[in-house]
Chain A
Amino acid sequence: MFELRATWAKAGLSILAVVVAVTVVLPVAWVGALSLKTGREVYNQKFLPDEWVPGNYITAWQEFGLGGYFVNSVFVTVVSVVLTILVSLLAAHAFTWLRFPGSDVVFTLLLLGIMIPPAALVLPLLIEARHLGFYNDLFGLSLVYVAFGLPISILIFRGFFAGIPGELVESARLDGAREWKILFRVIVPVARPAVVTVTILLFLANWNDFILALVLMRDADTYTLPVGISQFIGQYATPHELIAAASIIGSVPVFILYLVLERKFQQGVTAGALKG
């Protein structure tokens, strides 16, 4: 973008870049070091532990019951992401190629959902969950995630479908294929990049969600990771090094996926923000 000729300017900017990067990493690194200390060393002034205790991770995993939360988080995330993608692919297909009277009105109505922050609807959702019986139910929580994920997914799929030549659909129809077959055999293979983008966006939103799971789940055996881990903060007796270990454990899945799919994450988040 710029042609920097002066060496001192380049050097200065390099130093600035490293300083900013260190500012971002250092707090997390300090928590990482904290998670490996003994209970006594937590209060000392050294950055690195004198005595390394990797066992803190096993203790945190067992004492906080992280295994159960982990399974719950994986369940609601996988179920909600898969359902959202299926349901929104169907809708986007209809909005693009099966336009019916009033389809624009329905499309606009669905898009209005993008404006509504989940936090503002937790009260009526709890009331509805108690009345209809999906309170404290992991599948019920997944369906709520589907509702909040639909608008952005439909919007992205529809935008992508609009760029696919109509002849593909027409010729499949002439061959006598049914609409859902056209969608899954013809359209989806072409629309792969859009599916990846939507998967990443939904994964982040649902894996990281706190307030919906906090309100809609009552028992410890239905908590997701963020809710489960947050339950230990209020208890001042909880050892600091174990809280640190638990926060690191909770961050690892996102961290690994990001390492593997760095550019895809960046593209996905950009598309979600600028197109949504």
Chain B
Amino acid sequence: MVVPSLAVFLGLIAIPIVVVGLVSLSEWTGFPADGIRWLGIENYRTIAGDDIFWRALRNTLLFTGLTTLFLNVIGFGVALLISTRVRGTGLLRAVIFLPALLPSVLVGLMWQRVLDAFGFVNQILQWLGVADQPIFFLGDEQWALWVIIGVTVWQFAGYDMILYYAGLQSVDRSMLEAAALDGARTPATVFRVIIPSIWHIVGVVALLNIIGGLKIFDVVFVMTRGGPNRSSEVLATYMFEQGFRFSIMGVASAIAVVIVVLAVIASVARFRLARRLV
């Protein structure tokens, strides 16, 4: 009964992992007819000396770090807000989770329109009198990566909210009541009682965001293709370009191996933390 699972897993995950490792040590266009030449670690030397690779790595890490930070702060804040159950929070709970379910490609497409020269954001900025010229958010090196970060936070804040909301339900009621009896103010309750008692969940959620951040591709590919001038290039888009536009499979595979290594490190950390949860 395990055979079908094992067959699909070996054929479409395990073997590809081996193949990507082998190809990263070779020179190849990826087409069956073309010859393969073994290079050893040459491709890794190539990317180590490649400024664009370092830029893509730096952007990936910056994106991952900042989205993780913003998503956790906003997700936790909104979860707290919703758990007060004041009026309006029912609406908020329903709508904030929705973007997380949509295809990232469509989210990217929608925001591309919202942020273009005639888009909603520029309309508001001009109406407020902040900017008299439209800002080309996606065509400006200073803005592009920040826009990608902003859109991702917009999309996935509800995801973190749901996880924190589930976590908040496990906070010991009697501790909250005791804090209230002691006359603790709300901020004190949040920082002294609630955050310490869900600290392990913070770790798991942050690592989930990190894992998601390291493989960022869809939104960047749709909105900027890593541009302008590589300012929003990330590892996955750079890998895609090397492999599929230029057919340099060896270098592309070396970049893929870097992505796998980063993802495995983050996942192992997450498993360790999650095991302590149970």
CB within 8 Å of B: which residues of A? 1-4, 10, 13-18, 20-21, 24-28, 30-31, 34, 42-43, 45, 87-88, 90-91, 93-95, 98, 103, 106, 109-110, 113-128, 130-131, 143-144, 146-148, 150-151, 154, 179-180, 204, 207-208, 210-211, 215, 225-227, 229-230, 233, 240, 243-244, 246-247, 250-251, 254-255, 258, 262, 265-266, 269-270, 273-274
Contact = CB atoms under 8 A, between A and B. Distances in A.
Interface in B93-128: 94-106, 109-114, 118, 120, 123, 126-127
Interface in B231-278: 236, 239-240, 243-244, 249, 252-253, 256-257, 259-260, 263-264, 267-268, 274, 277
A128 B1 contact: no
A94 B1 CA distance: 6
Contacts of B110: 27-28, 31, 244, 247
Contact of B8 (A95, A114, A143): A143
B5 A17 contact: no
B121 to A, nearest CB: 8
Q: Interface SS of chain A: helix, strand, loop or mixed?
A: helix
Nearest to A20: B92
Interface residues of B, number: 97
B162 A270 contact: yes
A13 B81 contact: yes
Interface of B: 1-2, 4-6, 8-9, 11-13, 15-17, 19-20, 23, 30-32, 78, 80-89, 91-92, 94-106, 109-114, 118, 120, 123, 126-127, 154, 158-159, 162-163, 166, 168, 171, 176, 180, 186, 189, 201, 204-205, 208, 211, 214-215, 217-218, 221-222, 236, 239-240, 243-244, 249, 252-253, 256-257, 259-260, 263-264, 267-268, 274, 277
A109 B11 CA distance: 13
Contacts of A109: 9
B81 A106 contact: no
A10 B85 CA distance: 9
Contacts, number: 273
Contacts of B1: 90-91, 93-94, 98, 179-180
A87 B8 contact: yes
Given A4-B86, A127-B30, A274-B201, 17 more contacts: A3-B180, A13-B81, A13-B88, A17-B89, A24-B95, A28-B99, A94-B2, A98-B1, A116-B17, A119-B215, A210-B103, A211-B240, A251-B106, A258-B98, A258-B101, A266-B162, A274-B277
Given A18-B92, A233-B112, A124 B120 contact: no
Nearest to B267: A115
Given A4-B84, A115-B263, A254-B101, A147 B12 contact: yes
B274 A274 contact: yes
A144 to B, nearest CB: 6
Contacts of B215: 117-120
A21 B78 CA distance: 10
Contacts of B99: 24, 28
A233 B109 contact: yes
Contacts of A115: 263-264, 267-268
Given A14-B88, A110-B6, A147-B12, A124 B277 contact: no
Which of B9, B78, B127, B204 counts the most chain A CB atoms within 10 A?
B9
B243 A123 contact: yes
17 contacts: A3-B180, A10-B87, A17-B81, A17-B82, A31-B110, A94-B1, A94-B2, A120-B256, A225-B103, A226-B106, A229-B106, A229-B109, A230-B221, A247-B106, A247-B109, A262-B94, A274-B274
A121 B217 CA distance: 13
A87 B96 contact: no
A116 B13 contact: yes
